[in-house]
């Protein structure tokens, strides 16, 4: 999610039981409901690993029974049956092919305090029979052009969307990202920036926890980031900030094996 005045995580609270965990520049994520800005509709089945979470965040199937999302989207580690994962459709109102499964457990990154380490796992009550999204285990793919997708807003301050949107955003180096106003707190080796200098294309509130991905050497999708925060949505010189998945790949694998 992006930072509006002070940095704001990109999730949206959709119910009293849902939690919005703010970053070290905290503003309630409940202030905005948003999605991919400057994007186009994804085709049915184009990104079958995409998951919509009932607290107003996105995610991706790490395994058929575990969703990888952002730490700021969930509460503390432990049993949790209050989250519903929706998958199998790009249109959230389309009941044909839609799969909805409740959570049983949440694992939030150890040491998460709003700065960096913005990843979490949600175990589902039963597997979802859809393709999973593998994650990067090295920095090999942490550059180039990435794809982002989500059901968040299509403009800053906008509303949650019915259809899954997709967009492409280019890599922004740590040095360049830190040079922008509000980004000096970027956590090296834990976060990665992406976006156009001119703005216009970006993730936004409601996209938190969703994947940032690209093609690997075998032309398969591989996840390199998790939507985390930013300044506003699609503003010039204000890229999106994503959890650098490769940094936490071993920890994610270890946590998943214990669930």
Can you tell me the distance from the alpha carbon of 223 to that of 221, in angstroms, rounded to the nearest whole number? 7
Determine whether 208 is an active site residue.
yes
Residue 4 tokens read as 């509006």
Mean pLDDT value of segment 125-141: 98
- Find the catalytic residue in 23, 208, 228, 246: 208
Determine whether 174 is an active site residue.
no
Q: Are residues 240 and 253 in the same domain?
A: no
Q: Are residues 156 and 210 in the same domain?
A: yes
Mean pLDDT value of segment 155-175: 91
Answer yes or no: is 182 within a domain: yes
Residue 87, Cβ neighbours under 10 Å: how many?
23
Residues 68-102 have pLDDT tens digits of 999 999 999 999 999 999 999 999 999 999 999 99
pLDDT category of residue 10 using cuts at 50, 70 and 90: low
In which domain, by residue range, is 180 found? 134-246
Q: Are residues 93 and 79 in the same domain?
A: yes
Q: Are residues 192 and 238 in the same domain?
A: yes
For the chain, what is the domain count? Answer: 2
Can you tell me the distance from the alpha carbon of 152 to that of 142, in angstroms, rounded to the nearest whole number? 24
pLDDT of residue 38: 86
Q: Are residues 148 and 234 in the same domain?
A: yes
Answer yes or no: is 183 within a domain: yes
Answer yes or no: is 36 within a domain: no
The whole-angstrom distance between residue 15's C-alpha and the CA centroid of its chain comes to: 19
Can you tell me the distance from the alpha carbon of 16 to that of 227, in angstroms, rounded to the nearest whole number? 23
Determine whether 118 is an active site residue.
yes
pTM of the model: 0.88
Q: Are 57 and 209 in contact (CB under 8 A)?
A: yes
Q: Are residues 139 and 113 in the same domain?
A: no
- Find the catalytic residue in 118, 202, 228, 246: 118
- Find the catalytic residue in 72, 103, 202, 246: 72
Residue 86's CATH number: 2.40.10.10
Q: Are residues 19 and 106 in the same domain?
A: yes
The whole-angstrom distance between residue 213's C-alpha and the CA centroid of its chain comes to: 11
């Amino acid at each position: 999610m992006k930072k509006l005045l002070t940095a704001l995580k990109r999730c949206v609270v959709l119910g009293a039981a849902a939690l919005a965990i703010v970053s070290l520049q905290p503003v309630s994520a409940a202030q905005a409901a948003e999605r991919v800005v400057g994007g186009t509709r994804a085709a049915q089945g184009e990104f079958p690993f995409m998951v919509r979470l009932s607290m107003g965040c996105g995610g991706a199937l790490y395994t058929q029974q575990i969703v990888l999302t952002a730490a700021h989207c969930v509460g503390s580690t432990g049993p949790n049956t209050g989250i519903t994962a929706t998958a199998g459709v790009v249109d959230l109102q389309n009941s044909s092919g839609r799969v909805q499964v409740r959570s049983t457990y949440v694992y939030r990154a150890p040491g998460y305090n709003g700065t960096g380490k913005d990843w979490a796992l949600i175990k589902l009550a039963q597997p979802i029979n859809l393709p999973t999204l593998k994650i990067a285990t090295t920095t090999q793919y942490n550059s180039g052009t990435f794809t982002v997708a989500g059901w968040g807003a299509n403009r800053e301050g906008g509303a949650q969307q019915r259809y899954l949107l997709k967009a492409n955003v280019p890599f922004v180096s740590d040095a360049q990202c830190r040079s922008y106003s509000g980004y000096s707190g970027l956590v090296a080796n834990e976060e990665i920036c992406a976006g156009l200098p001119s703005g216009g294309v970006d993730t936004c509130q409601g996209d938190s926890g969703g994947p940032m991905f690209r093609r690997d050497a075998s032309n398969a999708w591989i996840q390199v980031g998790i939507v985390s925060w930013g300044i506003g949505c699609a503003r010039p010189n204000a890229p999106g900030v994503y959890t650098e998945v490769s940094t936490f790949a071993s920890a994610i694998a270890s946590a998943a094996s214990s669930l």
